């Protein structure tokens, strides 16, 4: 399963996994965009086993429905690629009343992964691959303001969400020890995609597009670490690591604070209405 498979890194990842012969479940929030990419991937890969499931990952009800729909069709999941992400220039709230960046970039992977643990364990050896960002390195996490109510800048909200995703990966890896399910996270590089283009006016969009398309690597290049972590025999059994260019790297010092990881887990569980002990 690849979330955010309609564009950029997720689309390139889904295509490559399909080329490798996997049954790929693409997740998209938009039927028309999803169906167009689904048919493109089928044609380019020659693989007909590309399914589309619809979900708006900013809505917890929609995420729960997605997990339900998946489990009605499949009893096992071998790779969950939590790839979808947003970069919001202004503070927006989701239908659940939560800050959008934190909801899509951290709470959606947290909830979706927890809801799919049963099928991941049934599919073991299975892998969870979380797309974080190098921007987590200079970010701070404010446990009293995960919703960025006191202070919002797109950089601080985005950085905090990606820092949280790294910490979630490490905590999850410990909780999954002995299950045959591994989890790692990654920075894909600076990639020419559509990121950052929603929620800005036409001028802002043009600037963002110019910067990313002139200085970014291609989505295919940006997808390489995701594909490596999803498929390579080199990382069989490797878990709880952060990768850049398919090489394990140290993440920000704060991400290794286990008591903070647990605190974050408990806060996220409350925000998505999961029992704290999942």
Ligand X SMILES: NC(=O)c1ccc[n+]([C@@H]2O[C@H](COP(=O)([O-])OP(=O)(O)OC[C@H]3O[C@@H](n4cnc5c(N)ncnc54)[C@H](OP(=O)(O)O)[C@@H]3O)[C@@H](O)[C@H]2O)c1
Residue (33 or 121) nearer to ligand X, CB: 33
Tokens of 225: 């670490």
Cα(251)–Cα(262) distance, rounded to whole angstroms?
Answer: 17
Q: Count the alpha carbons within 13 Å of 217 in the hemisphere toward its beta carbon.
A: 13
The two structure tokens encoding residue 276: 């704290």
Spatial separation of the C-alpha atoms in residues 45 and 34, rounded to whole Å: 16
User: In the bound complex, what is the minimum distance in angstroms from residue 184's beta carbon to ligand X?
Assistant: 15
In the bound state with ligand X, the residue whose beta carbon lies nearer, of 7 and 65, is 7
Catalytic residue list contains 158: yes
* Min separation Cβ 64 and ligand X, Å: 14
For the chain, strand residue ranges (E) read 2-3, 24-28, 50-54, 79-82, 126-131, 181-187, 242-244, 247-249
Q: Which is nearer to ligand X, 133 or 169 (CB)?
A: 133
3-state DSSP call for residue 184?
Answer: strand
Rounded least distance, CB 193 to ligand X, Å:
3
Specify the residue, 211 or 276, whose C-beta has the smaller distance to ligand X: 211
The nearest distance, CB 32 to ligand X, in angstroms, is: 10
Q: Which of 87, 158, 228, 242 is catalytic?
A: 158
Q: Residue written as tokens 């900013």?
A: 58
Nearest Cα residue to 272 out of 133, 154, 110, 57: 110
For residues 157 and 102, what is the distance between their CA atoms, to the nearest angstrom? 7
Alpha helices in 20-94 (DSSP H): 31-45, 60-73
Q: Name the site residues for ligand X (rule: CB under 6 A).
A: 4, 6-10, 29-30, 33, 56-58, 83-86, 104, 131, 133, 187-188, 190-191, 193-195, 216
Q: 104 or 268, CB closer to ligand X?
A: 104
CB of 245 to ligand X, least distance (A): 13
Looking at the annotation, which residues are catalytic?
A: 158
């Amino acid at each position: 399963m690849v979330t955010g498979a309609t564009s950029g890194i997720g689309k390139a990842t889904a295509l490559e996994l399909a080329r490798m012969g996997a049954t790929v479940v693409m997740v998209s929030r938009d039927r028309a965009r999803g169906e167009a990419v689904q048919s493109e991937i089928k044609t380019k890969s020659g693989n007909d086993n590309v399914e589309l499931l619809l979900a708006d990952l900013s809505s917890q009800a929609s995420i729960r429905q997605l997990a339900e729909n998946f489990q009605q069709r499949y009893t096992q999941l071998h790779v969950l690629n939590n790839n979808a992400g947003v970069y919001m220039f202004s503070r927006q709230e989701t239908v659940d009343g939560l800050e959008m960046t934190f909801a899509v970039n951290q709470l959606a992977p947290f909830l979706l992964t927890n809801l799919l643990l049963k099928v991941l364990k049934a599919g073991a050896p299975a892998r969870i691959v979380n797309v974080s960002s190098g921007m987590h390195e200079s970010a701070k996490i404010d446990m009293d303001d995960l919703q960025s109510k006191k202070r919002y800048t797109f950089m601080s909200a985005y950085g905090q969400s990606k820092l949280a995703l790294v910490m979630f990966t490490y905590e999850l890896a410990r909780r999954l020890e002995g299950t045959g399910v591994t989890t790692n996270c990654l920075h894909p590089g600076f990639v020419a995609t559509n990121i950052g283009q929603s929620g800005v006016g036409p001028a802002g969009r043009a600037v963002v597009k110019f910067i990313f398309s002139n200085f970014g690597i291609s989505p295919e290049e940006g997808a390489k670490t995701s594909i490596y972590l999803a498929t390579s025999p080199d990382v069989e059994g490797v878990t709880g690591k952060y990768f850049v260019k398919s090489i394990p790297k140290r993440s920000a010092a704060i991400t290794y604070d286990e008591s903070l990881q647990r605190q974050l887990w408990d806060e996220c569980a409350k925000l998505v209405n999961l029992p704290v002990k999942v």
